[in-house]
Amino acid sequence: MTAELVRGQNHPLSDTRLEIRISAGGPIVAGATLGDADGRVTGADRVAHPASHRLPGLEVSRQAAADHRLAVDLDALPESAHRVHVLLALPDGAGGPARFGAMAAPFIAVTGLDGAEVASYTITDLDSESAVVALELYRRQGAWKVRAVGQGYAGGLAAMLLDQGLADAAELARVINEAVSRGMARSVAPPPPHLPGGESGTRRTAQAEGAPDPGPAPPEPAPAGGPVSYRHPGRQTTAPPDPAPVVPPAQPGQSAPPVAGDATGWTMNERLYNQVWGMFEDLARSAAAYRSAVDFADSRLEQELDKALADPRTRVGPAADAAREEARARRTSLVEQARAVLDRDLAQLVAESEVVEHALPPAFARWDSPVWQGYQVPLETPMALRVGDLHLPERTDLTIPMLVRLPLERGLWVDSGRSSGGEAAMVDSDELRRRAMATAVLHAARMLAVYPVGDFTVHVIDPAGSAGAALAPLLQSGALREPPAAGAQGVSGVLARLTQRVDLVQMAIRSGAVDSLPPDLDTAEQLLIVNDFPHGFDDRAVTQLRYLADEGPSVGVHLMMVADREDARAYGPVLDPLWRALLRITPVQDDHLADPWVGHTWTYDPPRVPAGSDVVRQVLWQVGQARQAYGI
């Protein structure tokens, strides 16, 4: 079934040998670039265009045409290529329209070699742009996806290539336009309009007799490799239990209304998880496009001002003032266009966020969500956990849930130290420590609430006994089986039991003798909360903590540290591997996280309970009652 994408949406690719078919209402130039992990194109040798139409694993048309077929072999791409951008531009001097807004919206389809469509995208909302980044094929964690981009450039081919990272963009644009001019006589006639049902007229009928070849043939087959598996751990292997949500039709001139669960997945929770990550990526890339456009406008303004100053005729006087004013006006116009596109994308994401937030299950939901009012102890382990929210300065009220997969591959470090800026700089040290432990308890309460009864156990080490107030909800509800360990003897006892559990389970797994584990061994997932580290820890205890951080997650033992790194300086660099092994989060807003796509700095906002709400105590009370009912 074809995925009909909208701007910013992505879709997985199961095949690595693909054909990209492009249909437009007039002659256009089609090309592609190979980008690195950051999406930057390092040189002209990474651009496939009419004057140089072949790169390893990539072949494009050698002429301007209304119909193109680009061949892509993802397995044959260079190892350094992480992204393939498909570029479209209007040829200079072709006698056709000078902007995409004056022609039919380009239609793009990604197909397998058998012609079956995988995904399609109609590039709408173009006006004065004469060049556009249409699609992006990108690699993440060994798997490839396609994403609808639709980023237009009023500055044409040169502006688009410059935004891709090419310093000699103007020269390469000139070479491409000269090659297109020499081959204009071979342009293919406009295809029939795109028909309902995902097929264009050219796909439904045979190619017209005597028509030129619409593009290159696919590259030769690459050596066969194993298929990519997109299954999440624990995913079902049978057919989905319920169909994907049906998206209501859009009103004329409007985008389709957002729908919760509008993503791929075998269960609703999996679809919601994938949708949240899709929103995260869309916001990151939309902000990146806007910031790039502003940088381009600033660079262009600087170049134009330098040019005006370099010419004695325009350096001073009315002509100089007019030239500078025109340059600033052009810069303002570019920034306003980019902001309009960003605002449109943000409005769509805000609407989607409002719909999705109300549909999230307890593991993904905020503490003020109505889902907690009907909470019941679950029967299955969730696939992910919400540990906070993220936002960018472009729109602070648009927050993306920060979801981490379960079981935790990395432990958590709730930083109780002061940072150089942000909210932490305005809070005293004692209050930060109190908030840090309260945040750790919120995370532990959510984990206890979303795991089935008996599948999750919490231990607490509190050497100085300073966390009593924060731990009260866990102790009073009975969700915490035993009081926190205090003093040197209590610390050594808990660490010895957990390290022994890790050793026993690891040996049983390696020898294939899991059935021989002691009958009294707690097989539930274990979470150890360590408060106020390193106070009360000797060298042996520190070594055991490092061992649990490194080896524990693989056998179900997880670590949550509440610590100020500055307090541990006395140990020297010996603890650096411990900090790197943990995911740092904060009890107050802090700008310390980066996304995996463009590397933006995101503001992290910790989980919060509404003032006066007793939701956490009520949920933990239900967990405690369920434990008593099962005799745990």
pLDDT above 70 as % of the chain:
86
pLDDT of residue 206 exceeding 70:
no
The predicted pLDDT at position 30 comes to: 93
What confidence score (pLDDT) does residue 96 get?
A: 66
CATH number of the domain located at residue range(s) 406-607 in this protein: 3.40.50.300
Of the candidates 438, 451, 630, 440, the one whose C-alpha atom is nearest the C-alpha of residue 556 is: 451
Minimum mean pLDDT range among 196-205, 479-488, 521-530: 196-205
Domain ranges of the chain: 1-207, 265-365, 406-607
Percentage of the chain beyond pLDDT 90 is 44
How far apart (Å, rounded) are the C-alpha atoms in residues 365 and 194? 41
Least confident among 27-31, 46-50, 304-308: 304-308
Could you tell me which of 88, 87, 83, 72 has the C-alpha nearest to residue 20? 72
- State the pLDDT confidence band at 62, using cuts at 50, 70 and 90: confident
319-352, pLDDT tens digit by residue?
A: 778 888 888 999 999 999 999 999 999 999 999 9
Q: Give the range among 99-113, 146-160, 419-433, 542-556 with minimum mean pLDDT.
A: 419-433
Q: What pLDDT is recorded for position 422?
A: 63
The mean per-residue pLDDT over the stretch 612-628 comes to 92
β-strands 58-59, 54-55 pairing: antiparallel
Q: Is the peptide bond before 534 cis (omega within 30 degrees of 0)?
A: yes
DSSP single-letter state for residue 614: -
Which of the four CATH numbers 3.40.50.1000, 2.60.60.30, 3.30.457.10, 3.40.47.10 does domain 1-207 have? 2.60.60.30
Out of 47-56, 246-255, 362-371, 507-516, the most confident range is 362-371
Torsions phi, psi for 558 (to 5 deg): -120, 150
202 falls in which pLDDT band (50, 70, 90)? very low
pLDDT at 425: 67
Q: Looking at 104-217, which runs of residues are DSSP E strands?
A: 107-112, 117-122, 131-140, 143-153, 194-195, 199-200
Say yes or no to pLDDT of 201 above 50: no
Could you list the beta-strand ranges (E) of 406-524. 411-415, 456-461
Q: Which of 195, 158, 185 is nearest to 47 (CA)?
A: 158
Work out the average pLDDT over 134-161. Answer: 90
Confidence of residue 94 (pLDDT cuts 50, 70, 90): low
